[in-house]
C-alpha cells in the first residue's frame, strides 16, 4: 500500500448500543459503534473504504461534502445497491480539508435514524490551526418507544406530523451518548467539529452564553474567525469552533437554544452534554484571526441561470408532498462542465428547509436580496420560510449524475429532491 492511501473497512449491521446507563437500543451502524469510526485522511490523499452490508436490507454510503467522482457518490443513481451479505469498495481522493461525514443514502428515514453515520475528517496539509485538542461532536436525536425501540409512526395523523416536521425525538445524542461529560483542561483552546446528523433537528449551539470562535464550515476554513455566543447548525451542516479557554472547576452545559422552524413541535432549550473543566494545563494553541483567502465566484448582480423552487403541496395519498419546481423526485436539466452556475433557490413554503447539493460547494451571494456577512464554501444551507438565496458554483470536470435535496430526511423522502447531470 502506498503511503498516501488510507484503507478502512466498514461493516454495517444491527447491534446493541448503550446510549446511557438506563437505555440500550438496537442500533444500525458501522463496526458496532455509534457513530461509526471516524475516518481520517490528509488533503490530497486517497481514501479506500470497503463497505460490507450485514443488514437485512440494501444500502448505499454517501460521502457528504466530498468532491469525488459521480460514480463514488453513493446514491441509487450511480451505483447498484449493496445487497445484504455483499460488499462494495469506495475509492476516491479527498481534495479539500474540512469536516465531512458519511451516511447511508438508502431508506434514510430509518437507516440514518438508527445510527448509520460517522465522521470523515480531512486535515489541512499545513497546520493553520493549532489547537490543544481536536474533537468531533456528532449531533443526533432518536425517537424511541417506552421500550427503547425504533418505531414508524403508524396512524395517519402521526404520520402526517412526522412527514411535515421531520422526525424529532427526545433521546438527545452527542457521539451516540445521552448527556456525556466532556472533560477539558482549564486554560486550553480546543477545536470542536460539529456535525448535525439528525433527521430533522435544528441545533443552536450555546455554551451558557460564553463566546466561542467559528473557524470553519462545510467546505473548510472561513476567511476570518468569527466570535459568537450561539450558532445554528441544521441537518447536514458542519461547523468547527474554538472553545475555551475556560476556568478551572467550571461546569458548562452544552445546549441547543430553541429554534422556531414552524412545526407542530414546540421549540425547547435542551442540554446535549456537560463540559467539565479540570486543572489548568499549558497551552500550545495558535489560532490566527485570518485563516485563508476565499475567491468570490461571482458578483452579487450576476444573472440567474436556474431557478429552484421548494414548496409544499397537498396530496390525497400522503396529506402533503414536498416539491421541487412543483413536482416530486424531479429530473432537472443538465449543467455543463466549467460553466458558472448562478441559482436562485426559493423557499416558497412556510417552513425551513436545509438545501443540500451533492458533490460541489457553493457560495451564497445573497439572501433575500442582501449580501451575507461573510464568505464561505457550503454544501448545505438553511432557508427559512419565504427566503430566496442566490448561490454560485462551478461544475468542475466530474461528469455524471448528481442531486440536490432538502436534508430533513422525511422531506427528502417525500419528494423534495432533484437529479441532474453534469455533462
Selected binder of ligand C2O within 70, 78, 82, 105 (CB under 6 A)? 105
Query: In angstroms, what CA-CA distances link 65 with 72, 105, 304?
Result: 12, 13, 24
H or E, element range at 401: strand 400-406
Q: Environment class of residue 325 by beta-carbon count within 10 Å: exposed (0-12), middle (13-18) or buried (19+)?
A: middle
Q: Confirm or reject binding of residue 356 to ligand C2O (CB under 6 A).
A: yes
Please identify, using beta-carbon distances, which residue of 103 and 201 lies nearer to ligand C2O. 103
Distance in Å from the first CA to the final CA of the chain: 34
Q: Confirm or reject binding of residue 405 to ligand C2O (CB under 6 A).
A: yes
378 binds, among ligand C2O, Cu ion, none (CB under 5 to 8 A by kind): none
**Contact between 172 and 228 (Cβ < 8 Å):** no
Give, as ranges, the residues between 236 and 295 that touch ligand C2O (CB under 6 A): 236
Residue span 209-238 as binding mask against ligand C2O, x where in contact by CB under 6 A, dash where not = ---------------------------x--
Separation of alpha carbons 260 and 240, rounded Å: 23
Q: Confirm or reject binding of residue 401 to ligand C2O (CB under 6 A).
A: no
Question: For the chain, what is the total number of helices (H) and then of strands (E)?
Answer: 3, 31
* Minimal distance, residue 235 CB to ligand C2O, in Å: 8
Q: Confirm or reject binding of residue 36 to ligand C2O (CB under 6 A).
A: no
Beta-strand relationship, 117-123 and 36-42 = parallel
Residue span 114-153 as binding mask against Cu ion, x where in contact by CB under 5 A, dash where not = ----------------------------------------
Q: How many CB atoms lie within 10 A of CB 248?
A: 12
Please identify, using beta-carbon distances, which residue of 105 and 411 lies nearer to Cu ion. 411
105 binds, among Cu ion, ligand C2O, none (CB under 5 to 8 A by kind): ligand C2O
Separation of alpha carbons 233 and 381, rounded Å: 9
Q: Confirm or reject binding of residue 358 to ligand C2O (CB under 6 A).
A: yes
Separation of alpha carbons 373 and 404, rounded Å: 25
64 binds, among Cu ion, ligand C2O, none (CB under 5 to 8 A by kind): ligand C2O
Separation of alpha carbons 292 and 76, rounded Å: 36
* Minimal distance, residue 75 CB to ligand C2O, in Å: 7
Q: Confirm or reject binding of residue 163 to ligand C2O (CB under 6 A).
A: no
Q: Confirm or reject binding of residue 200 to Cu ion (CB under 5 A).
A: no
Selected binder of ligand C2O within 64, 67, 191, 238 (CB under 6 A)? 64
Selected binder of ligand C2O within 62, 114, 167, 378 (CB under 6 A)? 62
Q: Confirm or reject binding of residue 114 to ligand C2O (CB under 6 A).
A: no
**155: CB partners within 8 A, 6+ apart:** none
Q: What are phi and psi of 284, to 5 degrees?
A: -115, 5
**Contact between 58 and 106 (Cβ < 8 Å):** yes
* Minimal distance, residue 355 CB to Cu ion, in Å: 8
Three-state DSSP at 158 gives helix
Q: Confirm or reject binding of residue 406 to Cu ion (CB under 5 A).
A: yes
Q: Confirm or reject binding of residue 103 to Cu ion (CB under 5 A).
A: no
Residues that bind ligand C2O (CB under 6 A): 62, 64, 103, 105, 236, 356, 358, 405, 407
Amino acid at each position: 500500500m502506498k503511503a498516501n492511501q488510507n484503507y478502512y473497512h466498514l461493516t454495517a449491521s444491527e447491534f446493541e448500543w448503550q446510549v446511557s446507563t438506563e437505555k440500550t437500543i438496537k442500533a444500525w451502524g458501522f463496526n458496532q459503534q455509534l457513530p461509526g469510526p471516524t475516518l481520517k485522511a490528509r488533503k490530497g490523499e486517497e481514501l479506500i473504504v470497503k463497505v460490507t452490508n450485514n443488514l437485512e436490507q440494501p444500502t448505499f454510503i454517501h460521502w457528504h461534502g466530498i468532491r469525488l467522482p459521480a460514480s463514488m457518490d453513493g446514491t441509487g443513481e450511480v451505483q447498484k445497491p449493496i445487497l445484504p451479505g455483499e460488499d462494495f469498495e469506495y475509492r476516491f481522493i479527498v481534495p479539500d480539508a474540512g469536516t465531512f461525514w458519511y451516511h447511508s443514502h438508502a431508506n434514510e428515514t430509518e437507516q440514518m435514524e438508527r445510527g448509520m453515520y460517522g465522521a470523515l475528517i480531512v486535515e489541512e496539509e499545513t497546520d493553520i490551526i493549532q489547537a490543544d485538542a481536536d474533537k468531533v461532536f456528532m449531533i443526533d436525536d432518536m425517537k424511541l418507544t417506552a421500550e427503547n425501540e425504533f418505531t414508524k409512526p403508524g396512524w395517519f395523523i402521526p404520520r402526517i406530523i412526522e412527514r411535515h416536521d421531520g422526525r424529532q425525538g427526545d433521546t438527545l445524542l452527542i457521539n451516540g451518548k445521552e448527556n456525556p461529560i466532556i472533560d477539558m483542561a482549564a486554560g486550553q483552546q480546543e477545536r470542536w467539529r460539529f456535525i448535525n446528523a439528525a433527521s430533522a433537528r435544528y441545533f443552536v449551539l450555546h455554551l451558557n452564553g460564553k463566546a466561542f470562535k467559528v473557524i470553519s464550515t462545510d467546505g473548510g476554513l472561513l476567511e476570518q474567525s468569527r466570535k459568537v455566543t450561539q450558532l445554528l447548525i441544521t441537518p447536514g451542516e458542519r461547523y468547527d469552533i474554538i472553545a475555551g479557554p475556560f476556568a478551572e472547576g467550571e461546569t458548562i452545559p452544552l445546549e441547543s437554544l430553541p429554534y422556531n422552524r414552524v412545526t407542530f413541535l414546540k421549540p425547547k432549550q435542551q442540554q446535549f452534554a456537560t463540559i467539565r473543566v479540570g486543572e489548568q494545563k499549558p497551552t500550545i494553541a495558535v489560532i490566527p484571526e485570518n485563516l485563508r483567502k476565499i475567491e468570490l465566484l461571482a458578483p452579487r448582480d450576476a444573472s440567474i441561470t436556474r431557478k429552484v423552487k421548494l414548496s409544499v403541496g397537498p396530496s390525497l395519498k400522503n396529506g402533503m408532498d414536498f416539491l421541487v419546481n412543483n413536482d416530486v423526485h424531479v429530473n432537472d436539466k443538465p449543467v455543463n462542465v466549467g460553466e458558472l452556475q448562478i441559482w436562485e433557490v426559493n423557499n416558497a413554503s412556510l417552513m425551513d428547509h436545509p438545501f443540500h447539493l451533492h458533490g460541489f460547494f457553493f457560495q451564497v451571494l445573497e439572501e433575500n436580496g442582501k449580501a451575507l456577512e461573510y464568505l464561505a464554501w457550503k454544501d448545505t444551507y438553511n432557508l427559512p420560510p419565504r427566503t430566496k438565496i442566490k448561490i454560485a458554483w462551478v461544475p468542475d470536470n466530474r461528469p455524471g449524475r448528481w442531486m440536490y435535496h432538502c436534508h430533513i430526511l422525511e422531506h427528502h423522502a417525500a419528494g423534495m429532491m432533484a437529479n441532474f447531470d453534469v455533462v
